[in-house]
Amino acid sequence: MRHISFALTTDQVRTQTKTVTRRLGWKTLKPGTLLQPVVKSQGLKKGETVERIGGPIRVIDVVVERLNGGVSQSDVWREGFPQMSPEQFIDMFCHHNKCERTAEITRIHFEYMEARP
């Protein structure tokens, strides 16, 4: 099963309050795919191992769109950042992903396969 990293939103995934994520790449992902959430999957130091976050998630919907064209306030909440506005979220996304506001991103809507802990 493919891993998907949630380094910035580990707590939101642990509490299952995050149900949408935006990514650069991931354009071939299909609804129904199962993914294993992890804290970090790349850049691990020697001896470090992948830390799983709960059980698998199932992809419900995948949409490729411009970052600055599709972020609503409800999506910001679904992303796990209820304190942010869409503009603040876009700025934060660009900062952490080193991309422009016009970047083409993949919006992934998912559900948890296990009940909340």
Q: Write down the pLDDT at residue 8.
A: 92
What lies within 8 Å, CB to CB, of 47 at 6+ separation is none
Whole-structure pTM value: 0.91
pLDDT at 84 over 70: yes
Q: Encode pLDDT of 51-63 as tens digits.
A: 899 999 999 999 9
- Rounded mean pLDDT, 10-33: 96
**What residue ranges define each of the domains in the chain, with the CATH number in brackets?**
2-112 (3.10.400.10)
